[in-house]
Amino acid sequence: MSAFDNKWIQQILALQQVDGSWGQFHSLSQPTKQKPMTTEQALRRLRILGLTKDDEPIARTLEYMEHNLLQSHPTVFHEKKHDSKTYGDLMLAAWIRLFDPYNNAALSIAKKWAKVITRAFQNGEYSHAEYVKAYESEFIMLNPEAGCLADFVVFYQLALLPGLLVPEIESSMLDYVLAHDRGIVYLYEDRLDILPEQFASRKATRYLAAVELLADYSLAPEKLGFVGVWLKNQQDKSGLWDMSSIVKDGIYFPLSDSWQKTEDRKKDCTSRVIRLLDKLEVTKRTKQMVK
């Protein structure tokens, strides 16, 4: 059975425009009837549903994003901030790297952010003063606090950096991210080193989204081992996982065409958990991609 037989994929692709986008680019919030899909929402959902850079619709969107990334003026983020171009480039590069980690245009942006984070954690702990200095040096911009980039614990920066940090810096950064009071912007709202009270909850599915993002880092198995233990403890007597119908959000679930049958919901929940557990194991063997 082809992935394109999935009804959710078909619905999203029916909205794709000729240029490869879904119109407006920026918004990771939940789709609505009035605004059924932005490019980011479409990419997130299609990635969750299993599409890759080798699928023609994604290849077309990657071409669209790379074209916009190479423009000299803001193209996808239009707030009246001095760093709109920088923030737009960050978003584009992050999404490109999620599908194509070795894309040269995206890597050029990612390496700048790697230098910023490396300097911010050069003494083993986060220094906001060094973050600001490095940001101003790499992007030739005013203080990030005057724009959109005062905090780096955001989906975009964290999606950019896997494979680009030496182990010592990655370790310090992940410790900081896990203890960050506001979680990861656009994904999760609380500290990641504190597990959700209920596995069958909307909060837990957002928590998993944050962990799935961090699982791309080489030290994730060491730093996120407690999450693996927690997940294994949620397995039912039949060896499956069930987060209940409350997590059906049109983003992370459903994966199957329908949840009318309980077994389909359990199958989807189990598939997500196993992919995450497997990913953590695979990441153990992953070396740094770029030096």
pLDDT digit string, tens, across residues 66-116: 999 998 776 776 655 556 788 889 999 999 999 999 999 999 999 999 999
The pLDDT value recorded for residue 85 is 84
Residue 178 domain flag? no
Q: What's the number of domains the chain is made of? A: 1
Q: Which residues pair with 185 in a beta bridge?
A: 154
In-domain check, residue 33: no
Nearest-10 Cα torsion for 135, 136, 141, 147: 50
Domain extent for 279: 192-291
Rounded to the nearest 10 degrees, the angle between the axes of helix 128-139 and helix 104-120 is 150
pLDDT (tens digit, 9 = 90+) per residue, 103-139?
999 999 999 999 999 999 999 999 999 999 999 899 8
**pLDDT at position 285, please?**
44
- Inform me whether the pLDDT recorded for 279 exceeds 70: yes
Q: Are 58 and 99 in contact (CB under 8 A)?
A: yes
**Distance set, CA 14 to CA 66, 90, 200 (Å):** 22, 27, 32
Q: How confident is the model at residue 65 (pLDDT cuts 50, 70, 90)?
A: very high
| Contact yes or no for 274/232 (Cβ under 8 A) | no
Answer yes or no: is 207 within a domain: yes
The tokens for 261 are 């049958």
Q: Is residue 276 part of a domain?
A: yes
User: Is position 41 within any domain?
Assistant: no
Helices then strands, each counted (H, E), the chain: 12, 0
Question: Is 82 inside any structural domain?
Answer: no
Determine the residue type at 222. E
pLDDT at position 287: 45
Cβ-based neighbour number of residue 252 at 10 Å: 21
**In this structure, is residue 51 part of a structural domain?**
no
Q: Which two tokens stand for residue 98?
A: 């999620």
241, part of any domain? yes
Q: Confidence band (pLDDT; 50, 70, 90) for 5? A: confident
SS3 category, 209: helix
pLDDT of residue 186 exceeding 80: yes
pLDDT score at 71: 85
**Omega cis (within 30) before 196:** no
Q: CA-CA distance, 254 to 247, in Å (whole number)?
A: 8
Q: What is the mean pLDDT of the chain?
A: 90
Q: Write down the pTM of the prediction.
A: 0.91
Most confident of the ranges 33-47, 70-84, 185-199, 272-286 = 185-199
